[in-house]
Amino acid sequence: MNTAKGARARARTEITAAIKDAARRQLAAEGAAKLSLRAVARELGMVSSALYRYFPSRDDLLTALIIDAYDSLGEAAEAAKAAGAAEAAHGAVAGAEPLERWTAVCEAVRGWALAHPHEYALIYGSPVPGYTAPETTVPSAARVGLLLIGITRDAHEREALTAPPLPADLCEEAERMRADLAPDLPPEVVAALVAAWAQLFGLVGFEVFGQFHRVVEDRAPFFRHAAVRLAHGVGLRS
Amino acid sequence: MNTAKGARARARTEITAAIKDAARRQLAAEGAAKLSLRAVARELGMVSSALYRYFPSRDDLLTALIIDAYDSLGEAAEAAKAAGAAEAAHGAVAGAEPLERWTAVCEAVRGWALAHPHEYALIYGSPVPGYTAPETTVPSAARVGLLLIGITRDAHEREALTAPPLPADLCEEAERMRADLAPDLPPEVVAALVAAWAQLFGLVGFEVFGQFHRVVEDRAPFFRHAAVRLAHGVGLRS
DNA sequence: GTCTATAACGAGATAGAC
DNA sequence: GTCTATCTCGTTATAGAC
């Protein structure tokens, strides 16, 4: 009984994974807008109606791919943060640690995006027409942001961070963001952090989507320096 | 003779414009990946083969839409720069002028993007599968960047700009970018400028594509402050 | 010469009967 | 689950209207 149940569940997860793999291939070839259950089924030698046992609609398959992509990126970023922490523990100045973790996370985001451009486009590119992501994607989508908040919080605990003062018309919103995201950080730092988060993906997106073509050639050092300067803007010092 | 020629040319430009308008509507409804000549023709009461008198292929129509979008954005940004310059001429400190023009351009980019989200997605969103933009798009695509370079150059002529020193592994690339983009600016400033350019579109893209949903609510002052801080990063002072 | 319409091709998607 | 009839698409060749 257990074995039967286990085998059934195993088969189900295997087929689910195969479906998502085929869908990711279609994503790369045709784009998210043209993702069709039929094409996925054809590639797997199944019939389209069989897919509905695993994903009730095309949008649900899309949602699963989006969550997987956010999680894959989040895992890469979290692994880089942990590795950066370990690296910093080995040597050097203790105060440099948060900045090293920050840049490690940024470079992990870039590396993941360059390795998975189509999944990057799925989550940070143009919205898919006719599709709106459900709330279930939010926890996965938040992972990189939470990571950056955590690094900033660690740095703030060691040594109080500062950022330039806010204009009057931004104070209320900054307080609101602070209450939502990081009550233990100063509002200017929270505002700077959210901006840095968006700007990080601006740098990554420009590289992945080809806007740096014939503008920036040696991109790794360019990106690293920009990531360090993003950290400085949040108050992290070297 | 002249009138006949003129009428013909007028009709041609009118129909060309009508085709592009219909295509833009389809862009908004279905996305760039699903742009189809037949649907455009249907909407105009024409037959698909007739469109080939105006656009030799579907990709050429896409290219025309991309160039139009870049030019529309570029014109909005250039108008804002001119208006910012005029505004600054009226009053206030002379040294504040470049920063005001910088933020005016950034806010014009944001305003245009929010007013034309689908065209923004076409030029700064996910690449269209199976399509690669020809070199003819480059001049239009460069307009906003050139505008920011121009503002920075003006500021540098008044008062030498500085940016933090570059790491050794970025010096060569920064010199290359400087030679290509702005030989009269210091290499650190050029590197900071290119990064700021990408980061600007990170901020705009996050807002247009909905990443700020439930994160940033009062977005105009948030963006304005971030744009000012981008300018600071390039060396522009208030 | 300039344009539009008809018809067709090969490829792919889709809906429904079986 | 299978098969078929009917759609869509980009693109071309061709013929005729202005």
Q: Give the gap in angstroms from C-alpha A235 to the nearest C-alpha of chain B.
A: 13
Q: Is the pLDDT of residue B43 over 70?
A: yes
Question: Residue B49: what residue type?
Answer: S
CA atom of A92 to C1′ atom of D2, Å = 68
Could you please state the CATH topology (level 3) that the domain comprising B1-55 is classified under.
Answer: Arc Repressor Mutant, subunit A (1.10.10)
φ, ψ of residue A182 in degrees (nearest 5): -160, 80
| Region A12-23 average pLDDT | 93
C-alpha dist (Å) from residue B78 to A3, A237, B101, B123, B215: 69, 36, 10, 18, 31
CA atom of B166 to C1′ atom of C1, Å = 61
Q: pLDDT tens across B177-202, in order?
A: 999 999 999 999 999 999 999 999 99
Please give the span between the terminal C-alpha atoms of chain B, in angstroms, as a whole number.
Answer: 59
| Nucleotide with smallest C1' distance to residue B50 CA | C4
**Cα three-residue angle A27-A30-A35, rounded to 5 degrees:** 60
Q: pLDDT tens across B104-151, in order?
A: 999 999 999 999 999 999 999 999 999 999 999 999 999 999 999 999
Contact A29 B129 (CB under 8 A): yes
The 8-class DSSP code of residue B213 comes to T
Domain A1-56 has CATH 1.10.10: yes
Contact B129 A31 (CB under 8 A): yes
> Hey, which CATH number is domain A61-234, 1.10.1060.10, 1.10.357.10, 3.40.50.720, 1.20.1050.10?
1.10.357.10
CATH 1.10.357.10 in chain B is located at: 59-234
Q: Is the pLDDT of residue B7 over 90?
A: no
Predicted confidence at residue B1, as pLDDT, reads 43
Contact B167 A225 (CB under 8 A): yes
Which pLDDT band, with edges at 50, 70 and 90, does A9 fall under? confident
CATH 1.10.357.10 in chain A is located at: 61-234
B174 → chain A, closest CA residue:
A222
Q: Is the pLDDT of residue A96 over 70?
A: no
Predicted confidence at residue A8, as pLDDT, reads 81
Q: Which residue has 């279930």 as its token pair?
A: A136
d(CA B32, CA B26): 8
A192 → chain B, closest CA residue:
B226
Percent of chain A with pLDDT over 90: 79
Q: Is the pLDDT of residue A94 over 70?
A: no
**Dihedral over Cα of B108, B113, B119, B122: its sign:** positive
Identify the residue among A25, A222, A228, A234 best suited for mutation to test binding to B, counting B beta carbons within 10 A and taking the highest. A222
d(CA A209, CA A114): 10
C-alpha dist (Å) from residue A86 to A19, A74, A94, A156: 37, 18, 12, 20
d(CA A76, CA A144): 10
User: Which among A84, A87, A207 has a CA at the least distance from the CA of A147?
Assistant: A84
Q: Give the gap in angstroms from C-alpha A11 to the nearest C-alpha of chain B.
A: 33
Predicted confidence at residue A92, as pLDDT, reads 52
CATH 1.10.10 in chain B is located at: 1-55
d(CA A26, CA A22): 6
Q: Give the gap in angstroms from C-alpha B231 to the nearest C-alpha of chain A.
A: 12
Percent of chain B with pLDDT over 70: 94
Domain B59-234 has CATH 3.40.50.300: no
A166 → chain B, closest CA residue:
B225
**Please, are residues A196 and A148 in contact by the beta-carbon 8 Å criterion?**
yes
Question: A8-12, A145-149, A234-238, B45-49: lowest mean pLDDT where?
Answer: A8-12
The Cβ-side half-sphere exposure at A90, using a 13 Å CA radius, reads 6
Identify the residue among A199, A237, A238 best suited for mutation to test binding to B, counting B beta carbons within 10 A and taking the highest. A199
**Please, are residues A199 and A124 in contact by the beta-carbon 8 Å criterion?**
no
Q: pLDDT tens across A109-124, in order?
A: 999 999 999 999 999 9
